[in-house]
Structure 1
Amino acid sequence: MKVLILGSGAREHALAWAIARHPSVQKIYVAPGNGGIHHLGEIAENIPFKADDIDGLLKFAKENKIGLTIVGPEQPLEKGIVNRFKNHGLKIFGPSQEAAQLETSKAFAKSFMRAMHIPSAAFLVFRSHEEAAAYIEAQDEYPQVIKASGLAAGKGVVIAQNKTEALQTLDEFFNKKIFGSATETIVIESFMPGEEASVFAVTDGNNYKLLLAAQDHKRIGEGDTGKNTGGMGAYAPAPIVTPEILEKVEKEIIQPTLAGMKEREMPYQGFLYVGLMIHNGQPRVVEYNARLGDPEAQVVLPLLKTQLLDVLLAAVDERLDEINLEMLPKSATTVVMASNGYPDKYETGKVITGECHYEPSSDVAVFHAGTAQVNGTLQTSGGRVLSVTAVAETLEKSISRAYDAVAQISFDGAYFRRDIGAKGLKKS
C-alpha cells in the first residue's frame, strides 16, 4: 500500500515512522515533509506540495494510487480536504470540514459543549472590539482567558492577568490582527485552575479507541513561564490522568462529544484530541483539536504496540470495534530543540551537527520539524527544529535518555527546556 501523509512537522515525521513499521507499506509520501524524512529509507519520500494544496494533492493521490491519506495539521481540515478526497472515492483519515469545527472554531466548540453539557469554562463570544472591551472594562476578577476563535498555530490564547493586559490583547487581536482572520471572532472564558493534560482517541464516528494520555509543556520557559508556544516537550503516560479521571473523561466528554456530532449529522472520524484542565479530580475541557497534538504525537505513537496503519484503516472503514488497540507498558519523553528567539523572531539556516538519526529499533528517535537538506547539509528551517524522544521502562529513565540524546546534537542558538517531564516525576 502507498500512504500519503500531509504536513511538515515532527508529528508528521512520527506518523511516517509509525506507518513505516507495517509490512504491507510499499511507499510513504510526505507533503511537504522535512529534512529528516528520507532517513526512514527508500520507503519514505518528501513531495513538493503544501499540506493545504488540495487540488495538487488530490491529483497526486489519484495518479499514484494512494491507498490512505493521513492529515497531520489542522489547516487542510479547515479547507475541507477530507470532504474532497471522499467525494472522489479516496480513503483519507481525518474529520470532515464540518466536524473539524471542534478545533477550527472555538465559538462553535464552546456552544457545542454547552449544548451537550460537557464540562468546560463559562464563556462569552465577541465579534467586535467595542463589545469585548466593554465587557473587560466591567470585570474585576482576573485572570481572564482570551482566545482567537479561529486557527492561530496554537498561539492564539492569552491568559490576561489584569485589565491592562486584557485590553492590550483585544487591541492586538481585533485591531492589529496579529492572527489575521482567526480573531474576527474571539472567546473570553473564565479561568480554570488546575493542571493540564491531553487525552487522545481514534474514532470512526461510532466507536473509539483511546491512546495514552500525555502532558504537553506549552510555555517557552522552564517552570511553565513565558509565552505560549506550539509545545516545548511532552511525556506519556501522564500520571495525573488516573483511571478514575479517564473514566470521567470517557463518560462526560468523549462519549457525549461523538454522540452530539452524530446528532448534528457531522459524525466525527479521525483523531480527537481533548485538552483537559484537571482540578480536584474533575476534568474539564480546555479545547478540542481535530488531529494528534504536537509534541504529544512524538510520545504517544512510540508507545503504540498495535500497528498504527491497521488502526487508521479500521477507522476509515468504520470497523474500529474489530481492533484490539494495545499500548506498551513503558514511558516516553520528548524534548523540543528550538531556534533562538522562538516563538518570536528567529533565524534559520543554522547547520545542525551530531546524532540526528537513530535506527528504528532504538529506544531513541529524533523527529524532525524545522529542518531542511541544503546542498547535503542539514540546516534549521523553522522555530521548533527537532523533537528528541526516548522510550524507557520508567518516566525517569525516559527523561534521562532524552536529555542524553539532546546533548549529542548542536546548532547555533539551540534552545530547549530542561524540565520536561518533571511534573510527572512528582506524581508518579
Structure 2
Amino acid sequence: MSEISKLNILVVGSGGREHALVQKCLQSPLAGKVIAAPGNGGMASEVECFNLCVEDIPALVELAQEQNIGLVVVGPEVPLSLGLVDALAAVGIPAYGPNKDGAQLESSKAFCKDFFARHNIPTAAYGTFTEVEPALAYLEEHPAPIVIKASGLAAGKGVIMAETQEEAVAAVKDMLEGDAFGSSGKEIVIEETLYGEEASIHVIASGEHFVCLPPSQDHKRVGEGDTGLNTGGMGAYTPTSKVTPEMQAEIEEQVIKPTLAGLKADGIDYRGTLYAGLMLTDKGVKVLEYNVRFGDPETQVLLPMVADDLVPVLLASAKGEALPAKLQYHEGAAIVIVLAAGGYPGSYAKGQEITFPATLPASSAIVHAGTSRDIDGTIRTAGGRVLGVSGQAPTLQAAVDLAYSVCDQVEFQDKYLRRDIGHRELNR
C-alpha cells in the first residue's frame, strides 16, 4: 500500500453500521477530520454531521469536495446502487464501496442469481418473474415451503419464507400485483428453501485481492427462538464455531475467489465490501445472497475485533491497490444486541428520550442507529432499531453477560430486545 498522509474522511449513512465505522476511523492515526452525512444522534456527539439525504448524489459529491475529503466510506446500499462511487471517482475522490455495476449484486436479486448461475457459485435453485401467471405456474411445480424475494432493495425485509402454498401464492400476488415492496417487488425471485445454519462472511475486496473478516452470525427474526417477522437484524456475534478453518478455506475457494474472478470476467472492477450470506447445509455451503456493504449489525462486532488500523486497508481497496495478506484480530468473542422501539419492524413511536448509564464497563460500547440529538444534547429515538450495545470478552458467554448488563441500564419507553442473541453458539 502506498504511503499516505493525514486524510479527511466522510462516512455516508445514519445507522449503527456507520457509527461503528466513524468510531473505527477516529481511532486511526491517519485520520485528519472525520465527518458524517447525515449521521445520527450518537455520531453528532463525536463528529460534525451534515444533514444530507444519502440518495442526493450531487450534494454528497459537493460536500466531499468542499471538505477536502481524501476518502469517502459509503455505509448503506442505496447510494452505492445509485452510483455514488462512480460520481466521486469522476472528480478524483477515492470511495470505499463498489461502483454502480458492482452494486447490482445487491440491488437486483435477479442479477445476483443469474451471476451465480453463470459462474457456478453454489446457491439455491430459483426462477425470476415479473408476471403473476408464470410465477404461479412455477409454484405448482415447486410447492411450499419456498422463499419469495423482492428483487430490488427492501431494507432487509423483502423476503417471505412461505410455509404453505397459500402463503406463497399470496406473497407472489402481493409483490407483483399489489404494492407490498413498491418498485422493489415488481421483479421477484422464487427459490428453494435451504436448511441448515446461516453465517456471514465479510470480505474487503480490491479487484481479485481480498482479505476476510471473522465469520459472524446475525439474528434476523424479531422474536426469541428466531420467531416472528424478519428485521434488519436484532443482534450478531463473532466468531461462530460453525465456520471451521476447513470450512473457511472451502468458502474462499468455492465462493469468494470465483465471485471476484467472475466479476472481473464480466468487466466489473469490484472494490469494497463483499458480504456473503451463507447457508451451511448438509450438502455443503450455499450462498443465500450477496450484500455490497458491511452488514448492520455485524459491523458492530467485526470492527472492534480488528486490531489493525482499518483506514489504510479501506483506502487501498478504494484505490484498487493490493491489500494486506491478512489482518490482526483481538482474541475472544464479541456480541451486539439491538435495542429496538416497541412495535418494530411494524409501526413504532419516535421521539422518546433515552437515558444512558453514567459510565460504561471496559470492553463495552453503545452504538447509535435510529437516534436524534436535541440542541441541549438530549438523545431521542428516531428509528426502529435505536441502539446497538456491544461487548467484547475472552469468551462469548462473558461478552453476552457484559452486553446485557449494559442493555439493562439503558432506558427509553417501550424498549424491546431479544434476550437470546448468540443462543446457538452458547448451546453447542
If the TM-score is normalised by the length of the shorter chain, which range does it land in? over 0.9
Counterpart-to-counterpart distance in 1, 2:48 and 2:216: 29
Does residue 346 (structure 1) correspond to residue 352 (structure 2)? The answer is no
| SS of residue matched to 2:336 | strand
Contact 1:354 1:408 in 2 (8 A): yes
Does residue 143 (structure 1) correspond to residue 145 (structure 2)? The answer is yes
Q: How far 1:176 sits from its partner (Å)?
A: 2.1
Does residue 101 (structure 1) correspond to residue 107 (structure 2)? The answer is no
Counterpart-to-counterpart distance in 1, 2:78 and 2:310: 23
Choose from 40, 59, 66 the match for 2:62: 59
Change in 2 beyond 3 A, CA 1:316/1:385? same
Does residue 382 (structure 1) correspond to residue 383 (structure 2)? The answer is yes
| SS of residue matched to 1:284 | strand
Aligned residue for 2:421? 420
Choose from 279, 282, 294 the match for 2:296: 294
Change in 2 beyond 3 A, CA 1:105/1:357? farther
Counterpart-to-counterpart distance in 1, 2:267 and 2:325: 25
Amino acid at match of 1:272: L
Q: How far 1:358 sits from its partner (Å)?
A: 4.6
Query: Sequence identity, in percent?
Result: 43
Does residue 178 (structure 1) correspond to residue 171 (structure 2)? The answer is no
Contact 2:211 2:324 in 1 (8 A): no
Q: How far 1:172 sits from its partner (Å)?
A: 1.7
TM alignment of 1:272-311, pairs within 5 A: 272-280=274-282, 282-311=284-313
Counterpart-to-counterpart distance in 2, 1:237 and 1:45: 33
Contact 2:44 2:373 in 1 (8 A): no
Report the more deviating stretch, 249-258 or 125-134.
Answer: 125-134
Q: How far 1:364 sits from its partner (Å)?
A: 0.6
Counterpart-to-counterpart distance in 1, 2:137 and 2:287: 27
Q: How far 1:155 sits from its partner (Å)?
A: 0.4
TM alignment of 1:201-212, pairs within 5 A: 201-212=203-214
Does residue 245 (structure 1) correspond to residue 247 (structure 2)? The answer is yes
Counterpart-to-counterpart distance in 1, 2:412 and 2:195: 38
Contact 1:19 1:309 in 2 (8 A): yes
Change in 2 beyond 3 A, CA 1:344/1:251? same
Amino acid at match of 1:110: K
Counterpart-to-counterpart distance in 2, 1:133 and 1:254: 34
Aligned residue for 2:405? 404
Amino acid at match of 2:402: R
Counterpart-to-counterpart distance in 2, 1:184 and 1:251: 34
Counterpart-to-counterpart distance in 1, 2:45 and 2:425: 32
| SS of residue matched to 1:410 | coil
Task: Quote the RMSD (CA, aligned, Å).
Answer: 1.4
TM alignment of 1:86-235, pairs within 5 A: 86-136=89-139, 138-139=140-141, 141-235=143-237
Counterpart-to-counterpart distance in 2, 1:356 and 1:411: 15
Counterpart-to-counterpart distance in 2, 1:335 and 1:175: 37
Aligned residue for 1:22? 28
| SS of residue matched to 2:19 | helix
1:308-361 CA distance string (max 9 Å, x none): 1011112123333346411111200000000010001111111111228759xx
Contact 2:30 2:311 in 1 (8 A): no
| SS of residue matched to 2:207 | coil
Q: How far 1:375 sits from its partner (Å)?
A: 4.1
Q: How far 1:64 sits from its partner (Å)?
A: 1.2
Amino acid at match of 2:114: S
Contact 1:203 1:320 in 2 (8 A): no
TM alignment of 1:32-71, pairs within 5 A: 32-40=38-46, 44-71=47-74
Change in 2 beyond 3 A, CA 1:121/1:253? same
Change in 2 beyond 3 A, CA 1:356/1:209? farther
| SS of residue matched to 2:401 | helix
Amino acid at match of 1:385: V
Counterpart-to-counterpart distance in 1, 2:401 and 2:283: 29
Aligned residue for 1:11? 17
Does residue 313 (structure 1) correspond to residue 319 (structure 2)? The answer is no
Q: How far 1:45 sits from its partner (Å)?
A: 1.4
Contact 1:245 1:281 in 2 (8 A): no
Normalising by structure 2, we get a TM-score of: 0.96
